[in-house]
Chains A and B, each alone.
Chain A
Amino acid sequence: MIERLPLLLGIALRHISRRRRQTVVAVSGVAVGVGFFLAVSAMMIGSQNDFIKTLIDAAPHIIISDELRSPPKQPGFRVFRNGVVVLRNYKVRNEVRGLKDWPAIMRAANDEPGAIASPSLSGAVTLHLSGREEALSIIGIDPEIETRVSTIEDKLRVGRLHDLETVQSGVIIGEEMAQRLGVGMGDIVSATSGAGTTRSLRIVGLFKRGQSQLGATSGYVLLREAQSLLGRPFIINRIGVKLADPYRAQEVSRRLEGRFGYKAESWEERSADFLSLLVTRNVIMYSVVSAILLVASFGIYTVVSNSVADKRRDIAIMRSMGFSEGDLQLIFVAEGIVLALVGVLFGWALGYGLMEILGSLKFPIAGEDKYLPLDRGARQYAIAASASLFAGVIAAWLPARKSSRVDPVDILRGAV
């Protein structure tokens, strides 16, 4: 069979070369389908990757908080699990907030390969300045460790996280908050916690606008400053863990939660709603693009179908010469494959060109020039080629089957 392929392919190429107009239309259909598939998928997957990277980088990969997934059981329930008396509506014991034995949790988290754990304490305070009040959620951190765990440093318009250590009672807030309070770098604001403690805090850094993941009402202070302000010395209520491989977050968080009982949320769990949206988005994208490729394959179907119809006489004479039914089917399937292949090559070029154009477009967002995140990976080129070739083979095979049903006797006798 393989030794016959050059002959059969040669016949297919002759057929195609004689039907220039139809060939151009069919190839153009595939090329446009492939080109737009590449451009659209580059945008969709690029934005998806960018979005996931933002999700991963915005916060630690795992956050262990002082919450429990379900309240602890009453001692009576734990001892008499299958007792005859059923306890209902009992009062749940209030746990003291804060992570107990947090140094052990930190050690366990740091024992994970390539992991860095960062302790923090968060709580609510009110900022006062000249009669104005603003609620602020403060997060007490260790700047040395936090810079290695999160990308907060990159989100600062002015200042550095390390300034929290060098400036006494320093605080970093968002640009919006600073604007509302009418303060700037170096200004002092008064902060009062729920515990009744009041401190004067100096602005040592400002977040850029529009950093939604940081929150417009969040602020960073030194960990011991937060513990003092919130009246919770030596206590932390959150451990952020950064992993060498963010896609292990689910597995590691499950292990840590199983061991210590505290809620350990991976970035995937925190972003489950967004991730499920991405799945839906991908399904829609691939459905639409598959439809484009399917429509493109109609062109191939038309060309091959017409070719089979026009070549009935040639089919009959080739059958009489000794070409088998399989040979004739292969000739017409080869026509479809050649059309799809040429279409794919032009489509790749078109897709590359479209990506270059899209990649050069500038969008001013929040005062900065942003470019469309594009995924130019070879995977999409391979998917486009495989899908087009598959569609091309099917589109050619359907009419090609008719070639084997041509009755040579009728044609040779009647010269139909």
Chain B
Amino acid sequence: MTAVLEAQGLGRTLSGEPPIRLVNDVSFAVERGTFTTIIGPSGCGKSSLLYLLGLIDRPTIGKLLLEGNDVAGLDGDARAQLRLEHFGFVFQFHFLLPEFSALENVVLPIRRLGRLDGAAIEQRGIDLLKSVGLDEKASKTPDRMSGGERQRVAIARALANDPMLVLGDEPTGNLDSQNSARVVKLLKALAHEQGRAVICVTHDLEIAAEADVRISMLDGRIIDVART
């Protein structure tokens, strides 16, 4: 299989006295259709690595290849455009914009990309909400939805521009077990049924057990890569 995203000697060091190495010499590849989890103790650099992979943070060393092209050194606008087109993010907190309805939140990245017209945007938003079972809550604002519903809306938003990579930072961290299982099922489906590459940082070993690839980290380094 072709690697959609590949880290080569990736590192992130915070300047200071002494400098802090958040991520140190990380190399691995992520393929389409796989559900990958990154696990490790708190402060081991899991989330830092995820933000480097998602082009939210910038590595201080190493290469990051997106479909074979090194994107580590791109400027802010180019990285923003890549995030818009190829990445979807789901965080521990839903981070929905409180002034907007569920549908408006979902279609925000589509409107920003500007490739669809008004009616098509709305239809795409409804379809995405339907895929997470929330099409009936399209007009509800986040404050009138449960935690699980908000997180599913956030997943729908992450899929807005049909990204090839979906990155999750503790996406079930704030959910009860029932909602947590539902979200994991959704994420697995994104990988296995839709052919996307899904990478999730998690503390939850039960979720990690569901993954196709489990990356274990310690002190900013990858210490183990297990495949099922």
Bound together, the chains give a CA A182 to CA B56 distance in angstroms of 97
The dominant DSSP class at the A interface is helix
A17 interface residue (CB < 8 Å to B): yes
- A321 touching B56, Cβ below 8 Å: no
B35 interface residue (CB < 8 Å to A): no
Among the 9-residue stretches B26-34, B88-96, B206-214, the one with 4 or more Cβ atoms under 8 Å from chain A is B88-96
B83 interface residue (CB < 8 Å to A): yes
A314 interface residue (CB < 8 Å to B): yes
Which bucket holds chain B's interface residue count?
20 to 34
- B114 touching A3, Cβ below 8 Å: yes
Chain A 387-416 near chain B by CB (<8 Å), digits 1 or 0: 000000000000000000000110011010
Using known A-B contacts A7-B111, A17-B99, A327-B112, determine if residue A322 contacts B93 with beta carbons closer than 8 Å.
Answer: no
Bound together, the chains give a CA A408 to CA B99 distance in angstroms of 20
- A415 touching B100, Cβ below 8 Å: no
- A409 touching B112, Cβ below 8 Å: no
Bound together, the chains give a CA A415 to CA B173 distance in angstroms of 13
Question: B76 — which chain A residues lie within 8 A by C-beta?
Answer: 324-325
Question: B80 — which chain A residues lie within 8 A by C-beta?
Answer: 319, 322-325
Beyond A318-B108, A322-B87, A412-B51, 15 additional contacts (C-beta under 8 Å) are: A7-B111, A14-B97, A14-B99, A322-B84, A322-B113, A324-B76, A325-B76, A325-B77, A409-B48, A409-B51, A409-B56, A412-B91, A412-B95, A412-B169, A413-B47
A interface residues with partner B (beta carbon < 8 Å): 3-4, 7, 11, 14-15, 17-18, 313-314, 316-327, 408-409, 412-413, 415
B interface residues with partner A (beta carbon < 8 Å): 47-48, 51, 54, 56-57, 76-77, 80-85, 87, 89, 91-93, 95, 97-100, 108-109, 111-114, 157, 161, 169
Task: Give the top 8 A-B pairs by smallest Cβ distance, nearest first.
Answer: A322-B84, A14-B99, A317-B95, A322-B83, A324-B80, A415-B93, A7-B111, A321-B109
The 30 listed contacts between A and B (C-beta, < 8 Å) are A3-B114, A4-B114, A7-B108, A7-B112, A11-B97, A14-B99, A14-B100, A15-B99, A314-B97, A314-B98, A318-B108, A319-B80, A320-B89, A321-B89, A321-B109, A321-B157, A322-B87, A322-B112, A323-B80, A324-B76, A324-B81, A327-B112, A409-B51, A409-B57, A412-B56, A412-B95, A412-B169, A413-B51, A413-B169, A415-B93
